[in-house]
Every structure is written in structure tokens, then in C-alpha cells.
Structure 1
Amino acid sequence: MKSDTKDLTLLGNQNNKYVYDYDPSILETFENQHKDNDYFVKFNVPEFTSLCPITGQPDFATIYISYMPDVRMVESKSLKLYLFSFRNHGGFHEDCVNLIMKDLIELMDPKYIEVWGKFTPRGGISIDPYCNYGKPGTVYEEMAKQRLFQHDMYPERVDNR
């Protein structure tokens, strides 16, 4: 996992190497230029795919990643290539979402992060796992508890799946 802007190898590189097996080492970071501010960065990933670990059938989802950076931020092209690496990963929906969050925590050590997967139905049912994390011993830890407890209290109308 890279750490300095000068060490970014993917941004601007026209020779992308797509990895088809789960690989968190693709992720790169850069320094947060606004460490004195609390703010959210949100990624919407409408074309996420992985494989069912039992049947090998493809699973499709929109993944939402929202985080409050501390010192380091994830570089978006590396995130895109990392998420692409799930294409042949055999993992249940819940596993994929938690794995993404844990990899990003290890990479960035954010103040707060949440990852929500909205998977398209298979067998007549959709699964939408949500996980979050707040840095221990900070107000963000309490924020994570509150957001988790209130998560999806007013779910959106699902008419597009």
C-alpha cells in the first residue's frame, strides 16, 4: 500500500493492469490537505461484481463507501482497480462489504467509515449489508454506534431491482 503523492503509480498511468483476483495491495493513498476539517468523501460504485462462493454465479451490486479522512485518503483510481479485483472473488455479500471496509481502515486509518452494498436479487431476494467503524476513543466511535443503530430506519422504496 503506497503512501506519498509522489509514489502514486496508477493515477495518470495509461497502462492499467487489471487484476482479476482480490488484491488489497493495489490500494494507494495520498495526504489529506484538510486535516483540520471534518468532512465526508463518498464513492458510489454501481458496477461492483463478485462471485457466490458456493455456486460461482456472479453477484452484482452498487457499493457506497463514505468516510471521514484523517491523515491519509484513498486514491480513487487505485480504489476502482481494487474493487475490480473482486470480480473473481468468491465471497458472500456480507463478507465483501466487511472486507472492503477493513482493507480501507488498514490503509487509511480514517476517523469514520461506512460501506453499504446494495446487491441485485438472486432467487427473488436482495441482500444489502451495511457496516461502519469509528476510530476508538474518539467521538467518531459514538457516531458509528448511532449511525449503525439508526441505519435504514426509513428504507428507500426499492422499485429498480
Structure 2
Amino acid sequence: MAGRDESTLHDLTLLGNQNTVYDYSYNPNLLESIDNLHQGRDYFVKFNCPEFTSLCPQTGQPDFATIYISFIPDRKLVESKSLKLYLFSFRNHGDFHEDCVNSIMMDLVNLLEPRYIEVWGKFTPRGGLSIDPYCNYGKPGTKFEQMAEQRLFQHDLYPEKVDNR
């Protein structure tokens, strides 16, 4: 199996950078990609971000969530440090939970053009109500378009036991 060499990493500006700047305002330009060396295979890549924060656009109160991102890559993967900094950039961003989750998905679709992606936000309750938006995307004209429809219709048929809120 071929490994990565400098030529596959030359576009990365954040990984290994000791002078990281944290952007506190929503910034999709932080996202960086690397080549998928396993394009001939379908496989999931999953990220869990248990420390996601954003702000309510009306009250300015903080909202906290675990963001789950799962995708089947095509030609590109998201570089994980850039993803962390991107998710961190929501810290002072005022938007509703549904908007944050959809923005994350669409920013990753625009960057990666994945075969399939889903993003699920598990927000902690405020005022006795938690909101858990889910969205997904399958590449049009492929089997992943049908997969997206099936997973959307069935994603919450068996709700998990919630013991962390």
C-alpha cells in the first residue's frame, strides 16, 4: 500500500502549523482537503465533535451540541485540523440549530464533493427542549442518492437511549 509523501500534503496550511489562529466567526474558508488514496472503495469516515458551540441568533445565549459527521469520500478527504478550526469558528456565530447543521453539510459538500454525507446535531436542552437536526446528501445520479433518501426516511426509527443530557 502506498503511503503519503510531501507531494500529497503540499496544499495544507494548518496541519503542523505552530501559529494557529482561532477564528471566532463562522469561516468555511478554514476547511482544507487532501486526496483520498482509496477512491476505488466505498467506506465511511466519521467525526464526532462533542464540544460544538454556537449562539442563538435571537438571544445570544450559547448553544452546545455534539456534531456527528459521517461521509463516504470520493476524491477528497477533509483534513481534521481544518475541520476542528472550522467547527470552532461557529463559537460566536448566531444561527439556529437547523441552520448550523445544514451549513456544515453544505460547506463539506462544496469542499469534498463526497459520494454521501450526513450531519447530525445533538444539542443540549435549553428551556427543557433539545433539538437534534439531521441532514444528508447523496451524489445525484448515483446509488448514494437513493441511499440518502433511505437514510433520511429511516434515520430515527430507533431513537437512541439519551443518557448524556
**Counterpart check, 1:125 vs 2:129:** yes
2:5 aligned partner: none
Partners of 2:43 and 2:163 in 1: how far apart? 31
Identity between Structure 1 and Structure 2 (%): 75
Q: Which runs of 5+ in 1 are unaligned?
A: none
Partners of 1:74 and 1:115 in 2: how far apart? 14
Alpha-carbon offset, residue 157 of structure 1: 1.4
Alignment size in residue pairs: 158
Runs of at least 4 residues off by over 2 Å: none
**Contact between 1:5 and 1:29, CA under 8 Å: does it hold in 2?**
no
2:40 aligned partner: 36
TM-score (normalizing by structure 2): 0.95
Q: Deviations over 1:42-65 (max 9, x none)?
A: 000000000000000000000000
Alpha-carbon offset, residue 158 of structure 1: 1.4
Give the letter for the 1:38 counterpart: D
Partners of 2:36 and 2:44 in 1: how far apart? 12
SS in 1 for 2:89: helix
Partners of 1:114 and 1:160 in 2: how far apart? 22
**Counterpart check, 1:12 vs 2:21:** no
Q: Which runs of 5+ in 2 are unaligned?
A: 1-7
Alpha-carbon offset, residue 5 of structure 1: 2.1
**Counterpart check, 1:52 vs 2:76:** no
Partners of 2:128 and 2:34 in 1: how far apart? 42
Partners of 2:89 and 2:152 in 1: how far apart? 28
TM-score (normalizing by structure 1): 0.97
Question: What are the equivalent positions in structure 2 for 1:26-105 lying under 5 Å apart?
Answer: 26-105=30-109
Partners of 1:27 and 1:159 in 2: how far apart? 32
